[in-house]
Structure 1
Amino acid sequence: MSKDAKNPDFQRAATAPALPAHTVGFIWYCLRRFRGMILLMMAMEAGQAAGGILVPYAIKALMDAVAAHPAGATLWEAFKQPLLLLIGLNLAEILFSRASGALLIVMGPRLRQRTSQLLYAYLQQHSPRYFANHFAGSLAHRVSETAMSVNHTTWSVLFDFWPIAITFMVSIVLLLQVHTGLGGFVAGWVFLYVVSSYWMATRCQPYAQNYAAVRSLVNGKIVDTVTNMLNVKLFARLDYEREYLEGVLEDEVREGRRTFWYMERVRWFQFIAAAVLKIGTIGYALQLWNSGEIGVGDFAMSTGLALLIIGDARNLTRRFLEFFEYVGNVANGVETIVKPHEIIDKPDAQPLKVGAGRIEFRNVCFAYETGRPVFDNLSVTIEPGQRVGLVGYSGSGKSTFVSLILRNYEPQSGQILIDGQDILQTTQDSLHRQVSLIPQEPSLFHRSLKENIAYGRLRASDAEIQAATRLAHADAFIEAMPDAYEALVGERGVKLSGGQRQRIAIARVLLKDAPILILDEATSSLDSLTEKTIQENLDRVMGVKTVIAVAHRLSTIAHLDRILVFDQGRIVEDGNHERLLAEKGFYYRLWSMQAGGFLPDRQV
């Protein structure tokens, strides 16, 4: 566990990178490994900008040489120095710019890679509650968008603002050397233009954000409609969906026009400001030349510098706007991902060592929300090797019981012990290595069947993988597929049926072979014959494992050693199937009111 230096209450997992929770600090954290390269790029960009802006100075030297050209002198003798200066400046501009470009090629992909790695490493340590509250696709997009925006923010500073600053500074210095008044005029123009561009960019930012939000909404509506196109056709709602989308598209048009009209006002400002600089500089320089205060070369240089300044400054407002957008994207990513970790290992956490597999809840109190307790001083012990079923209405506490064992949540008080070890004092990785879960709705990686099954034990041999698939009754459909074990299953396993996905999940857990096994309606998607076969295989492999089975279909747990009956966060009955039926209590009523083998959602 680690704390943020500026906020001691900000806790993060010890293995997570110490990412700052504020935008500037986060960007610098990502960049600090590249400090030397960034300084070198700044030097290259300064050299390139200086080379470009000093060209008018070389032109001035040429003009002065023309004015002082002695009769009979050769061209090379007269113009040697200014020509060499002009050639040198152009070569310097080319070499510095391309050297900077080469550094960008080396650093750019690495910077994005590092930012993505840091965000993903931090994201991994969030709790299941965090992932339940965020869309997976949104989080993945946020990681990618933040990494890209860190790059763009850096490039904006290095390749936009820094060279422009060099251009302005060198130009003002050169003009001050020509004439203090002329240099002061351009310096004042630069100051007012930069401040005005920054102000207009901040004013334009809400327009741009609203326009981006509406575009995102339109995109979401289109994706939603395309995803549900089958429903659209089945209900004959093609016209309705077009009209529905038309309304959102009108919002996009309206926001787009507001943004573009504001940008048009900005362009009016830019063109007027450029005209002021050009006319003002040329007029002022012409007046100074006429009065003999500057030469022809100075006049030519002043005009050239004014044009170069205008060329660099014209898109400054747009660059500011893009910069704010990139920084905003980074801020959104930091705000979304760099939050305190809810569940972390203690500083002195030890690996969990499971020998027998005894599970004990000792005075456990837990609530998802303050004032709405699920468990209040719950105490129960599951003996080593015992096979226990959990039954009860929806919301009675069965899933919470399992989630607490898996440490998806942590109790507010009390202890959960496995073989006498408080799981809050052990590492989460070691706990999850010792506990297997077969969920009701298993999710698979978009990888091959072999990779999905071997996820239970990465170094498993082909023979071990095939043995697990046979026990899970998955070998027949796998071998019937064209690519067999190398077949890709699609995102979240969409290319497989529900029953096939469940059998793959069972095979994966059988391969893991953890001493504690949790089943959450593990065979609910299977037909009766397959379920019976797999259940027999599971019974054989369970051996001395401690097994907890959550069931809505009571027939699937009737053969277990023990059944815990939950009601409103309490265990109201405890015993085997025959004993509980004989008592004719809560479990008896559940058994009697099963419809089609399933429990109703609530008591009737």
Structure 2
Amino acid sequence: MNLFSLFERFTNPLPEQAAGTPPDNLVAFARQTIRGFEKPLLALGALTIFLAILEVTLFNFLGDLVDWLGTRSRDTFLQDEGGTLIGISLLVLVALPIAVLLHSMLFHQTLFINHGISVTWSLHRSLLEQSWSFFQNEFAGRLATRVAQTSEAIRESVLKLMDVLLYVCVYLTGMAALVFSADWRLSLPLLGWFVLYTLLLKRQLPELSRRAKDQAEAHSGLMGHLVDSYTNFTTLRLFSDSARETKDTRAVMQRFLDAVYPLMRHITRLNVGLWWLNALLIFSTGALSIYLWMNESIGTGAIAIAVALTLRIKSMSQFIMWEVSNLARNLGTVQDGIRAMSRPLEILDDSNAQALELNAGQIEIEQLRFAYPEQPPLFDGLDLQIRAGEKVGIIGRSGAGKSTLIHLLLRLHDPESGCIRIDEQRIDQVTQASLRRNIGVVTQDTSLLHRSIRDNLLYGRPDADESKMREAARMTRIDEFIESLPDGYDTLVGERGVKLSGGQRQRIAIARVLIKDAPILILDEATSALDSEVETDIQRNLDQLMQGKTVVAIAHRLSTIAAMDRLIVMDAGRIIEQGTHQQLLEQGGLYAKLWSHQSGGFLPD
């Protein structure tokens, strides 16, 4: 293992243990992000202090050297100051390079990349624990931008505080003490500069931080809008002309500019104010040095130290201002990010949750009450029992509660009251992972991961062998298409599967559930994107798949679920009819009316 690898492995940027929801407090969030990085950060701080003290020591040596060259004899100079010269040489040629090497290794190899990735990893894992409704109310692009921005901003803030600003504080304190020890009068201009500089930052930084938060929020909104446009490119082309989309994008970009311009104004004020302070410092230090020298009350060495410090501060102050400004902007970005991502988790595992032990697959729903925010209850005392191995079809007009019932069964929402049991186990008292592991789902809105076809097929069961994967592809009549592709099963499907047709995506989704082979099967318009010939063929394979499983199927095309063991008709969150297809037709109720009114096999609104 080389030296670079050694330093890269000092920290673990991808810990197994999840950090949980990020705190909504800036200090608490920063403390959470440095967990596991404390020792390297302390070592970096110690090296930073050492380098600052070393540079102050060299400045002190510069003042002594100026005095020596004016007062010491050339004949005895090496004899008198040889020990000091050797010590300074060792500092410059040995201690300084080693310190710089260790500092650079800690900064770049141990902390810079690892800390940023660690924060990204932590935020990503916490977002994946968020509820379904959380992602319904957010742009995917804005979330991704906030994760990236927040990770970079907190990394920059932590490292700058432990490196740059710590160095500056120690350096300036040491130099001020050095000048004061040389001649206290020369420290007066520096003291005045420091007071004015502090007042300037104190006045500008709070407003700068506020403006930075506005800018970060506007930037996230801009990126979310752009990603949304690219993701829905086809929709934009079909439903909007270019002038309309250009107008909407211009409005979003204008909001971003309206947030950025005030931020830049404050930065300009800081920049101009700092130049005036630096000019005043240079003038006052030079004038005071000349005055004291003319009155023979100061040596050239003290003047050399004071002038060198003044020039050094002049070059550093601009850098300090930018670093402080960047720190304010970064803190604003972090606050914007944690405000958006620190929302409490809505769906949590019970502290004593156990894995679901599925024996038969019986589903019981008792006195279920559920309402969406700011809406009247959709379910109010719903009862439903599905026997183990029973095939149930759910029918109803749009808004009847069919999909919501499925979401509650998958625990994407929690009910206000009542409960759902599977094999006499409440689903809110088992782990979410074990619940969904035992349920296979095919929805009408099929979305594939932007990975290979193989990865998508095996996503529900990564340990399935090649033969099982190919058999599932054959059963869904997608195998010939896949094998015709240049890369076969290793072909990338594009974002959300955009490279494939709707029917091809649907067949891959059905094959994925075939491979998963879960004991409970949910079909939400599973064959809606397929043509009649392919649907008939796949339906036979689905019938085979459903053998021995508990099945809940939703379909607007009643012919696809007419052969189910039981059909349940819902309206406005209530079960109004249930029975076999023939029984419901004989009852002459809503199902019979919907059946008779179907045109092309679809329900009317």
Is TM more than 0.5 here? yes
1:556 counterpart = 2:560: yes
Farther off after superposition, 196-205 or 295-304: 196-205
Shift in Å at residue 389 of structure 1? Answer: 0.6
Q: Which letter maps to 2:432?
A: Q
Aligned residue in 1 for 2:103: 100
Give the counterpart of 2:333 among 329, 333, 341: 329
Give the counterpart of 1:288 among 288, 292, 314: 292
TM-score relative to the length of structure 1: 0.90
The 1-side partners of 2:24 and 2:256 are apart by 33
The 1-side partners of 2:18 and 2:435 are apart by 16
Shift in Å at residue 403 of structure 1? Answer: 1.0
* DSSP-derived class of the 1:314 partner: helix
Shift in Å at residue 413 of structure 1? Answer: 1.2
Give the counterpart of 1:382 among 386, 409, 415: 386
Alignment check: 8 A CA contact 1:448 1:486 kept: yes
- Cα deviations by residue, 1:219-253 (Å, 9 ceiling, x for unpaired): 66666777777788889966776677677777777
The 1-side partners of 2:215 and 2:414 are apart by 42
Q: Which letter maps to 1:287?
A: Y
* DSSP-derived class of the 2:419 partner: strand
Aligned residue in 2 for 1:542: 546
Q: Which letter maps to 2:72?
A: H
* DSSP-derived class of the 2:34 partner: helix
Aligned residue in 1 for 2:63: 60
Give the counterpart of 1:596 among 596, 600, 605: 600
Aligned residue in 2 for 1:511: 515
Farther off after superposition, 77-86 or 339-348: 77-86
Q: Which letter maps to 1:103?
A: L
Question: Structure 1: 5+ residue runs without aligned partners?
Answer: 1-13
Alignment check: 8 A CA contact 1:63 1:296 kept: yes
The 1-side partners of 2:225 and 2:427 are apart by 45
Shift in Å at residue 260 of structure 1? Answer: 4.5
- Cα deviations by residue, 1:238-295 (Å, 9 ceiling, x for unpaired): 6776677677777777776655454333222111111111121222233333334321
Alignment check: 8 A CA contact 2:216 2:333 kept: no
Farther off after superposition, 332-341 or 272-281: 332-341
- Cα deviations by residue, 1:381-409 (Å, 9 ceiling, x for unpaired): 11111111101111111111111111111
Shift in Å at residue 496 of structure 1? Answer: 0.9
Alignment check: 8 A CA contact 2:208 2:329 kept: no
Shift in Å at residue 505 of structure 1? Answer: 0.7
The 2-side partners of 1:36 and 1:166 are apart by 20
Aligned residue in 1 for 2:323: 319
Q: Which letter maps to 1:30?
A: T
Aligned residue in 2 for 1:426: 430
Shift in Å at residue 455 of structure 1? Answer: 1.4
Aligned residue in 1 for 2:354: 350
Give the counterpart of 1:73 among 63, 72, 75: 75
1:358 to 1:529, Cα distance in 2 relative to 1, 3 A: same
Q: Counterparts in 2 of 1:63-212, with a 5 A limit?
A: 63-70=66-73, 73=75, 76-77=78-79, 80=82, 83-84=85-86, 87-88=89-90, 90-91=92-93, 92-104=95-107, 105-206=109-210
Aligned residue in 2 for 1:4: none
The 2-side partners of 1:308 and 1:210 are apart by 35
Shift in Å at residue 594 of structure 1? Answer: 1.9
1:526 counterpart = 2:536: no
Shift in Å at residue 179 of structure 1? Answer: 2.4
Q: Counterparts in 2 of 1:40-59, with a 5 A limit?
A: 40-59=43-62
Alignment check: 8 A CA contact 2:366 2:382 kept: yes
Shift in Å at residue 130 of structure 1? Answer: 1.4
The 2-side partners of 1:354 and 1:221 are apart by 44
- Cα deviations by residue, 1:365-387 (Å, 9 ceiling, x for unpaired): 11122661111111111111111
Aligned residue in 1 for 2:274: 270
Q: Which letter maps to 1:69?
A: R
The 2-side partners of 1:480 and 1:221 are apart by 37
Q: Which letter maps to 1:578?
A: Q
Alignment check: 8 A CA contact 1:56 1:300 kept: no
Alignment check: 8 A CA contact 1:53 1:308 kept: no
1:514 to 1:255, Cα distance in 2 relative to 1, 3 A: closer
The 2-side partners of 1:134 and 1:243 are apart by 22
1:348 to 1:308, Cα distance in 2 relative to 1, 3 A: same
Aligned residue in 1 for 2:9: none
TM-score relative to the length of structure 2: 0.90
Give the fraction of aligned pairs with identical amino acids, expressed as a percent. Answer: 36
- Cα deviations by residue, 1:403-436 (Å, 9 ceiling, x for unpaired): 1111111111112111111111111111111111
Aligned length: 587
Q: Which letter maps to 2:486?
A: P
* DSSP-derived class of the 2:378 partner: strand
Give the counterpart of 2:402 among 394, 398, 401: 398
Shift in Å at residue 361 of structure 1? Answer: 0.8
* DSSP-derived class of the 1:559 partner: coil
Q: Which letter maps to 1:299?
A: I
The 1-side partners of 2:214 and 2:130 are apart by 30
Q: Which letter maps to 2:103?
A: S
1:244 to 1:524, Cα distance in 2 relative to 1, 3 A: closer
Farther off after superposition, 319-328 or 254-263: 254-263
The 2-side partners of 1:541 and 1:30 are apart by 47
1:307 to 1:87, Cα distance in 2 relative to 1, 3 A: farther
The 1-side partners of 2:515 and 2:235 are apart by 40
1:21 counterpart = 2:24: yes
The 1-side partners of 2:501 and 2:350 are apart by 41
Shift in Å at residue 215 of structure 1? Answer: 6.2
Farther off after superposition, 585-594 or 74-83: 74-83
Farther off after superposition, 72-81 or 524-533: 72-81
Q: Counterparts in 2 of 1:475-490, with a 5 A limit?
A: 475-490=479-494
The 1-side partners of 2:248 and 2:136 are apart by 30
Aligned residue in 1 for 2:33: 30
Q: Which letter maps to 1:37?
A: P
Give the counterpart of 1:472 among 473, 476, 495: 476
1:227 to 1:352, Cα distance in 2 relative to 1, 3 A: closer
Shift in Å at residue 88 of structure 1? Answer: 4.7
Q: Counterparts in 2 of 1:212-223, with a 5 A limit?
A: none
Farther off after superposition, 230-239 or 280-289: 230-239
- Cα deviations by residue, 1:303-324 (Å, 9 ceiling, x for unpaired): 1112212222223332222111
The 2-side partners of 1:544 and 1:468 are apart by 18
1:572 to 1:223, Cα distance in 2 relative to 1, 3 A: closer
The 1-side partners of 2:212 and 2:101 are apart by 33
The 2-side partners of 1:233 and 1:528 are apart by 29
The 2-side partners of 1:124 and 1:253 are apart by 32
Q: Counterparts in 2 of 1:301-316, with a 5 A limit?
A: 301-316=305-320
The 2-side partners of 1:260 and 1:427 are apart by 50
1:215 to 1:127, Cα distance in 2 relative to 1, 3 A: closer
* DSSP-derived class of the 1:26 partner: helix
1:167 to 1:292, Cα distance in 2 relative to 1, 3 A: same
1:257 to 1:475, Cα distance in 2 relative to 1, 3 A: closer
Q: Which letter maps to 1:308?
A: R
1:448 counterpart = 2:452: yes
The 2-side partners of 1:244 and 1:356 are apart by 54
Question: Structure 2: 5+ residue runs without aligned partners?
Answer: 1-16
